[in-house]
Structure 1
């Protein structure tokens, strides 16, 4: 006969005002033998406890406290949590450390729900992030390039730090709303700009909401790579042909929220496409030519890309300050391909993809040997020959032959390989 599991009731207390604790939830709490929660949550329920109850404080010692529950038998255990415990709450932690128990979850209104209701925003409009107990840069990795976002703050992270991160990710022109003390008598929703966020003293488990309208480029409103060359502002540095760019971007397997390196900026056409077709990503690119920076900035403005960071100099030395990448695209290498590949391999994250374009067979062979020598997966080498038709004399048609190009790509091994 299977032994019946003891149960834990996980009860959401709502957004902060005790009036939002439902009568049925109060009954669950009143009959509990043991109640666990943070200090703020335990203080909230003290006024209506009617019998002697063991109160266990959950703080930074939550693993130790939750592990103690495993020794209890036939106790009526309640864990109280703020808002809705299933929305960036304690639910997953309880499931992880208390798997021996049957878990009953009792949701409530979250502060996030209350804030959106006050603003008249619907749930599906907003992408949510929590920086509570997380490393800031990692937590904001998949921040979109526009739209509506909500951020659950953490008192450990200063407003100045968050403002710097948001500016870095292109949200300088957004409208921000700070929602504080929701449902309480001193509730406030304050509208301000990013530079004012840096002037706040601290967060107090606030919610930060923001709206940044999407700026569609009139030059390329589509979601497909291979932007025609004539739409770019060009100059002395060469521009990668549209068909080659389309294949490079395709083999990069882009997705939102990546860190992307592009070595050899040139006109910036690949940089622009990587930024456009990987929303919320940050693209780092380098080129020793001052003209490349000027052209890239002009094309950034033309295509409304605010997630690109240009560095003038030679790879790999110029890349030392860049965050480790999920994707790397190598075009120009200045005769230092071996040195660049060695450094890129060291920095590329597991399962990250590397795409190399080459016009010389020798470069393609070097890339091919590198991928196999370092046990990359999904290795491909493609020769691309593009011919473009144009009208000739009379009713004839002629082919303009483009230089052939080699695209070599592969995926770095990960623990799952």
Structure 2
């Protein structure tokens, strides 16, 4: 095992005294081509071009002497430190950090970033990174070849955002460009770059933030979820009937529990009604696309999202036809439309689907459609009775069949 391993961050500025001391004593130096070309790298040292960090880790572990790993920015932030410390390498490292690309990007933009979401986009994770950009007001994206600004913008089609694109930070070719998302794909961008994606809600102005990656005023709004229908009447639903069939809080709670929306997901809410489920899924950090054929329901959903301060994209159209042009979902709630809509949704292969039925025959038909399309189906009969606590008398009774489908290849 190497006698000493020092990981040095580089941001284009002169190296610190500690970094220079570690390099001058190094017998092995690993890094990208531009790192190995630095004049501070000793001529006598063995050099390893960093391609696979795992392979480099094995070489470093077998080396006898002092090893240095050079990496861009802060190597402990989405960097090589985690890999080098992994059990298979067992390396104890000293870290000399530089300014991370994310910190540098926000500095160039003149913006605070303690409330930003930060994601890494590779071709295999690009869709989830895009969903975070849909769901949050401020996101920094560390890009990679094949998952850069143009690809982000194309997948955000129909969602307006502002991009701050920072190319080759810390070099002589550094460039910062501000564009709206609809214009980003018209350009070619140099790697590496960091993209700050802004939009999806008002800029926060509260001070006294205490937790990273959250609105400075977090937590705010109403505590809890599966809120009563009254909570959504400010969004334009004046009566319980206007919140939509099957939208009572008990059913909504069960649907959300089975969907399990989370950061990086895209939720379809088909038949959004009052927007209650769409808003609550968004409050879990998921991106939400709400669909309804009724323009008044679309307006209520938009108003509810505004009231609760969450971004929800609303699409007016009738399922199943409108679904053909929507981006791929992770989980879907179907508020109506019967077997044709269930079948169309199942064809898109989301991980989970929930829907409901008012009769056993309807439940059997919907469950059969889910099963025929490769989903493991569960069904429960939910009955709730709302009581007037002033007289402890029955106020309202709801009975509904809840159906949930989990894609068979994911079912435990």
TM-score by length of structure 1 reads 0.72
Change (3 A) 1:143 1:99: same
In the aligned structure 2, how far is the partner of 1:415 from the partner of 1:403?
Answer: 32
Change (3 A) 1:413 1:274: farther
In the aligned structure 2, how far is the partner of 1:66 from the partner of 1:191?
Answer: 38
Task: Tell me, yes or no, if structure 1 residue 194 matches structure 2 residue 194.
Answer: no
In the aligned structure 2, how far is the partner of 1:325 from the partner of 1:302?
Answer: 23
8 Å contact kept, 1:387–1:401: yes
Task: Tell me, yes or no, if structure 1 residue 207 matches structure 2 residue 194.
Answer: yes
Change (3 A) 1:126 1:342: closer
Other-structure match for 2:400: 405
In the aligned structure 2, how far is the partner of 1:27 from the partner of 1:300?
Answer: 60
Question: Quick one: which of 8, 12, 24 aligns to 1:16?
Answer: 12
8 Å contact kept, 2:237–2:243: no
Question: Quick one: which of 18, 26, 32 aligns to 1:32?
Answer: 26
In the aligned structure 1, how far is the partner of 2:200 from the partner of 2:55?
Answer: 46
Secondary structure in 1 matching 2:196: strand
Other-structure match for 2:283: 277
8 Å contact kept, 1:389–1:398: yes
Question: Quick one: which of 249, 253, 263 aligns to 1:247?
Answer: 253
In the aligned structure 2, how far is the partner of 1:397 from the partner of 1:94?
Answer: 64
Task: Tell me, yes or no, if structure 1 residue 302 matches structure 2 residue 298.
Answer: no
In the aligned structure 1, how far is the partner of 2:176 from the partner of 2:269?
Answer: 41
In the aligned structure 2, how far is the partner of 1:206 from the partner of 1:369?
Answer: 48
Change (3 A) 1:194 1:101: same
Say what the alpha-carbon RMSD is for the aligned residues. 4.4
8 Å contact kept, 2:343–2:370: no
8 Å contact kept, 1:232–1:269: no
Other-structure match for 2:333: 329
Instruction: Give 1 or 2 for the bigger CA radius of gyration.
Output: 1
In the aligned structure 2, how far is the partner of 1:157 from the partner of 1:253?
Answer: 27
Map 1:51-70 to 2 at 5 A: 51-59=43-51, 66-68=57-59
Deviations for 1:349-384, whole angstroms, at most 9, x for unmatched residues?
A: 2xx4x433221133345667889998959x562422
In the aligned structure 2, how far is the partner of 1:93 from the partner of 1:23?
Answer: 26
TM-fit CA distance, 1:119: 5.1
Secondary structure in 2 matching 1:151: strand
8 Å contact kept, 1:157–1:203: no
In the aligned structure 2, how far is the partner of 1:180 from the partner of 1:195?
Answer: 19
Question: Quick one: which of 86, 91, 100 aligns to 1:102?
Answer: 91
Task: Tell me, yes or no, if structure 1 residue 160 matches structure 2 residue 161.
Answer: no
Change (3 A) 1:311 1:133: same
Question: Quick one: which of 261, 264, 288 aligns to 2:268?
Answer: 261
8 Å contact kept, 1:376–1:412: yes
Other-structure match for 1:88: 78
Change (3 A) 1:154 1:136: same
Secondary structure in 2 matching 1:149: strand
In the aligned structure 2, how far is the partner of 1:399 from the partner of 1:312?
Answer: 38
TM-fit CA distance, 1:266: 6.4
Other-structure match for 2:208: none
Map 1:206-245 to 2 at 5 A: 206-212=193-199, 214-215=201-202, 222=222, 224=225, 225-228=227-230, 230=233, 231-232=235-236, 239-240=244-245, 241-243=247-249
Other-structure match for 1:381: 380
8 Å contact kept, 1:385–1:405: no
TM-fit CA distance, 1:89: 1.7
